[in-house]
Structure formats: C-alpha cells, structure tokens
Structure 1
Amino acid sequence: MAGIDVKELMEEEDTQKGKFLTFSMESKMYGIDVRYVTEIIGIQPITEVPELPGYIKGIINLRGKIIPVMDVRLRFKMPFKEYNDRTCIIVIDIDGTCIGLIVDSVTEILSIPEDEIVDPPEVNKTGNNYIKCIGKVGNEMKLILDCYKLLNDREI
C-alpha cells in the first residue's frame, strides 16, 4: 500500500505560497490565492435558481458536478456587465465547497513576495470586507480577496 509523501505535499504547498491568480473588473486588479483555484473556464450556460441572492447567478454543470456561480461584479455592488469572450469563471474550492466566480477577464498568475503584501487600510472596515490584503507589484496594487469572506455570507 502506497503512503502519502508528506514532504512532497509540503513542497507543493511551498511552490504555491505567494502566488496569486489575478483578474480584472472595471479598472481594478484583484487576486486570489492559487491554492483555492481548481480551474478557469469560459462562460457557460447558467441555470437560474429562484430565491438566491442577486449576485448568485445560478448553477452550472461542470463535467457532472453541479457548481453555483457568483458574479463577483454584483457581489461588489458594481453594475452588471454583459458577458463576452473574455468573461471567465474561476472555479475555487474552499474547504470542499466549490463555487464559480464570474470575472471580466483573467490576467496572469503572479508571485508576490511576502514583504510586498500589506494589510488593507483601516479607513472603512465595512467597505472592504472581501479584501484580505494588498499586493504591491511595481507601481501597481493588486487587491487580494479573502475567499472565505466572499463565500461565507449569511445569505448563501
């Protein structure tokens, strides 16, 4: 019987540390820790489900697995934008819960050194519930999302 190679698992975890999948919405750049990302797919037919919050667009069938999809623009109270060929669904897994995040477009996977990641400013804590930290990349800033807060809302 083959055992689990703990050293290999730890090395895999280390290679993902400090790596973020970045995407854009409006003119802002956001990031998600790559540890949570399982895949990126194009927009698909979405089946609406009644009585869900407006930002939950419905469900998709991904190779036989039913996954709810959230329009991140609507979650952030941005205006709805028609989906196009750049629109993507980022499928994430948070502690066994899979959900698709609809974003305007995916840009790249970035490595951000730990010393270039800072906490969000304390200006208005209610306005940045979903921002875990800010990654500084050259002169640009990437808003790193807290996937747990994005998903663990009382409404879902």
Structure 2
Amino acid sequence: MDIQTLANDIPVEGEYSLEGIDFIVSGEQFLTFQLDQEQYGVDILCVEEIRSWEQPTKIPNAPAYIKGVINMRGVIVPIVDLRMKFNIGKPEYSEITVVIVLTVEANHQSRTIGFVVDAVSEVLNAEENEILNAPVFGGCIPAHFIKGLVNVGDNVVTLLDVEALQVIEKHTVNC
C-alpha cells in the first residue's frame, strides 16, 4: 500500500457524522436510583463513584442516618442512608444496595459524601423545560432537597438538589 492510498482513506473534516452516539445530549443528565418504590435522581456530573454496600466505620454520637465513614483512596467519606434521612420505610441492605458517592464544589471547596440507596436505575436525559417545579404539599422529603420533577413514561422521577444533600444538620447529643 502506498502513501497516496493511505491519504485517500483519511476522512475530510465534516465528512462523517457521529450517528448512533447517544451520550452527547443537550440538557441535563441525572443518575436515577430507587428508594423504596420511588425513583430519584441526582446530577450525574456530581457522581464520583458508585460502590457496593459495605459496613462503614461507626461515628460515636452521630445522627442515626449517618451510617459512619469509609476511606476512599485516602479520603474519609461520610455515609448517609437516604431512607433514614427522609424517613422512607425501614432500611434494608442487600446485594443490590449501593452507595452513590457525590462530590460538590462550592465556595472553592470540595465536599464528598456517600449516599446509601436501594439500587441504581439508569441515566436520565432531561431538557430544562421537562423539569417541573415540585408541588409544596408536605411530603416525606423537605422541599429544599428537591430540585424538580421529571415525567418518565407513567412514572415521576424526583430530582434531588445535590448541594442541599451535602449539608449535614447540626445534631445535639444528650450525654
């Protein structure tokens, strides 16, 4: 094969399109997961890692929803059980229970926290106009944790505000 034949095989700029690649989207992407029978989602850009459930090291006098901490490549990561935090049924840990590790950059600081969920579902693509405001009706999840709602077929996915999830409320200890 000579150099001219090779040169003819090089695509010209704009000659080929990237058909069939569906990960390039406009709008936002959310990692969806399950708590009890409900679907929730978090901004996929904040997802650091998805880990299988492992019993974390307990922290004395921590709120009940803080399961403890894990060492993730030298970073100490608090683990929060979202079922317990939002009072959604009794937490059960099985082979499909996972920890979604989220990192948020705010005020030039990075904060990493892991959240125990029942199972990871899929990646949801949502255009800005598809994200609806959550009605204020006093559900299990306080309104400041909800970024919006998205209709997916016959189901509704509740999108959670990752920055609000990162705040661990002050806990008083009765010693």
State the 4+ residue runs in structure 1 displaced beyond 4 angstroms: 14-17
Aligned to 2:130: 116
Q: Any idea what the Cα deviations from partners look like across 1:28-70, whole Å, max 9, x if unmatched?
A: 0000011111110101231000111111110011122211100
Aligned to 1:10: none
Written as runs of structure 1 = structure 2, the 5 A alignment for 1:1-156 is 17-95=27-105, 96-124=110-138, 127-155=142-170
Measure the CA separation in 2 of the matches of 1:58 and 1:152.
15
Contact 1:25 1:105 in 2 (8 A): yes
Maintained 8 Å contact 1:112/1:136: no
**Distance in 1, Cα, partners of 2:136 & 2:116:** 28
The amino acid across from 2:127 in the alignment is: P
TM-score (norm. length: structure 2): 0.75
Matched residues, number: 143
2:97 partner letter: T
8 Å CA contact 2:111, 2:166 repeated in 1 = no
What RMSD over aligned residues (CA atoms) do the two structures have, in Å? 2.0
TM-score by length of 1: 0.83
> What CA distance in whole angstroms lies between the structure 2 residues aligned with 1:16 and 1:55?
36
Tell me the CA shift for residue 17 of structure 1: 4.3
- The CA distance in 1 between the partners of 2:80 and 2:113, in whole Å, is 7
SS in 2 for 1:77: coil
CA contact under 8 A between 1:16 and 1:34: conserved in structure 2?
Answer: no
Determine what percentage of the aligned residue pairs are the same residue: 34
SS at match of 1:50: coil
CA 1:16/1:85 → structure 2, altered by over 3 Å: closer, same or farther? Answer: farther
Q: SS state of the match for residue 129, structure 1? A: helix
Look up the equivalent residue of 1:124 and give its one-letter code.
G
Gaps of 5+ in 2: 1-23
CA 1:78/1:123 → structure 2, altered by over 3 Å: closer, same or farther? closer
2:115 aligned partner, one-letter code = L
Take 2:64 and 2:26, find their aligned partners in 1: how far apart are those partners?
33
Question: Could you tell me how far apart the structure 2 residues matched to 1:60 and 1:112 are?
Answer: 32
8 A Cα contact 2:35 2:88, kept in partner: no
